Amino acid sequence: MKATNKVKIAIAWMILAGLFAPYAYVSGQTAGTPDSTFNGTGKVVYDRDTYDLYNDVKVQPDGKIVAAGTSMTSSFTSTIEVTRYLADGSFDPSFGTGGHFNFAPNVENGAYKCLIKEDGKILVCGYTTDYTTWEILVIQLTENGVPDPAFGENGVVLLNTGIGENIAYAIALQADGKILVSGYSQDIQMRNVPVVIRFTDTGILDTSFGFSGVASIPVTETDNDFSAVSVQSDGKIIAAGHISNGLSWFSLLIARFDDGGYLDLAYGNEGIVNLNLNNVDDEFYDMVLTGNDEAILAGFTVTQPDYFYHLLMMKFDVNGQPVTAFGTDGIVTYGEVPYTFGDAMAVQPDGKILIAGCTGELMPANNDWALWRYNSDGSPDITFGSNGIVTTDFFGHADEALGIALHSNKIIVAGKTRNATDYLDFAVARYLNDVDVYVPGSHESIPVTISPNPVRRGGQINLAYEVQQASHISVELINLSGNSLLTLSAGTREPGMRSFTFFLPDRIPEGVYVLQVKANNVICKSQKLILLN
């Protein structure tokens, strides 16, 4: 199973820092039920060409849905497709051309991951090739879906770091705005070397990172990659995917680098986790970091003697060791049929884990979209769907969900469906959820100023605000996984201009956080806060 054909996810929580802060409540909705306000059925299918698929999906604070993927003709020429949908499932005419941005600098082009920056601009990563040169591709679009002239060369960055193929599967942002992409680059022996590459926020290769901008690990066999990348709260970088150890078997791969792009020897075995479960194929496709920087990863494992593909989820601590209290001895699997994958994941504010993928027969036979929900300890959440799983069938053929995002009390999934004529179509579905993800708008009923920002660890924060009536004021600091790190009360304040000063504890590491100010337990300010050493 070549990983190129699967989604390579990165973490939406780090990407969307400052765009939303999680806030959970029980809404009374049945989690996993199709949302009928989305195209009347909860599903949208878009047929652009012969083979169409979305590899990733994100949601803007206003509820508009951004999906990125690839469209290929019957003659195998391909185009990058980025689509923006309105909240009702229709194309957004204000985005690109009629809701679409298409880009094809070469014969073959692909997009694997996207993210929405705090300023509303959209980053997309993938590759492009004329079959002579393969280049990593990063595109930055404006909010209107056109290339951003302030990024790279007319909105596009192309990079050839190896002798052969170069592909970016995942993308993430550091707290300082620098851009990380992960994937692989082929070396002179035509081995796929897992790489993490860093660019400045304007798309310039950061040559101070790793070796001339590229961090990598040693390999001995041909097929290896980093399918996911994320940034810890202390700035260290984790990348995950698969590595070949001999024969044709793939093993699970995690590596941790310091901010300079060098392996962190304190993690795993000299910076690397190389783990095979069943002496067949194992791969990680996506990863989410918890509030204490533990890594939850999803993908698949193959078992003997049936050689079935099973959903796989594992959790690793900050030292790169499996958390044995998670699942069964640190491992969660699902699937008694030949073809079950976990392609993308998200964590709710209450700690429950959502995984999108597929389950069914081996392709091209019938398999369905699958959406699983697990409790924070790795046990199935039997309140979700049917004993923890929701399946969606489109045309009775091979379907697969490849990206997932959360917004408000909705779950949004994107991927591919095989239609009645045996071609692939873009597909998006939206489901109801029983937990809400709070999305702050411009609801500043009480004007608040927060300074300084950025602030040093252990530094002083000053709030200035005006209240029109007696109000109880409180402050909460939340990390990017939705965990509350600090809650303070300023007491009840009488009408007029008021101020509140407090110090951040030294124990909170540098990184990006969300600071919320509440009046009578209602949020009146939600702002990204950057902590520096």
- Report d(CA 528, CA 83) in Å as an integer: 27
User: Are residues 136 and 473 in contact, defined by beta-carbon separation less than 8 angstroms?
Assistant: no
In this prediction the pTM is: 0.80
Please spell the DSSP secondary structure of 256-316, one letter per residue: EE-TTS-B-TTTTBTTEEEE-SSSS-EEEEEEEE-TTS-EEEEEEEE-TTT--EEEEEEEE
Residue 153 has a pLDDT of 97
Q: Look at residue 198 in the predicted model and tell me its pLDDT.
A: 98
Neighbours of 128 (CB within 10 A): 24
Residues recorded for the chain? 533
Provide the pLDDT confidence category of residue 444 given band limits of 50, 70 and 90.
very low
Check whether 53 has a pLDDT greater than 60: yes
> DSSP string spanning 196-259?
EEEE-TTS-B-TTTTBTTEEE---SSS--EEEEEEE-TTS-EEEEEEEE-STT-EEEEEEEE-T
pLDDT tens column, 92-121? 999 999 999 999 999 999 999 999 998 899
State residue 439's pLDDT score: 54
Distance separating alpha carbons of residues 45 and 392, to the nearest angstrom:
13
Nearest to 415 by CA among 459, 361, 357, 352: 357
Residues 6+ positions from 97 with CB-CB distance below 8 Å: none
- pLDDT category at 292 given cuts 50, 70, 90 is confident
Instruction: Please give the sequence-ordered ranges of beta strands (E in DSSP) within 339-470, or none if there are none.
Output: 339-347, 353-360, 367-374, 389-392, 399-418, 424-437, 448-451, 455-456, 460-467
Contact criterion met (CB below 8 Å) for 342 and 311: yes
- Short-list 531, 529, 481, CA closest to 506: 531
pLDDT tens by residue, 164-209: 899 999 999 998 899 999 999 999 999 999 999 999 999 999 999 9
H/E segment holding residue 143: none
What pLDDT shows up at residue 492?
A: 78
In this structure, what token pair is assigned to residue 508? Answer: 């909170």
Residue 145 pairs in a beta bridge with: none
pLDDT digits (tens, 9 = 90+) for 422-437: 789 999 999 999 987 7
Please report the pLDDT score of residue 5 as a whole number. Answer: 37
Mean pLDDT of the chain: 88
Q: How confident is the model at residue 438 (pLDDT cuts 50, 70, 90)?
A: low
Peptide bond into 349 cis (omega under 30): no
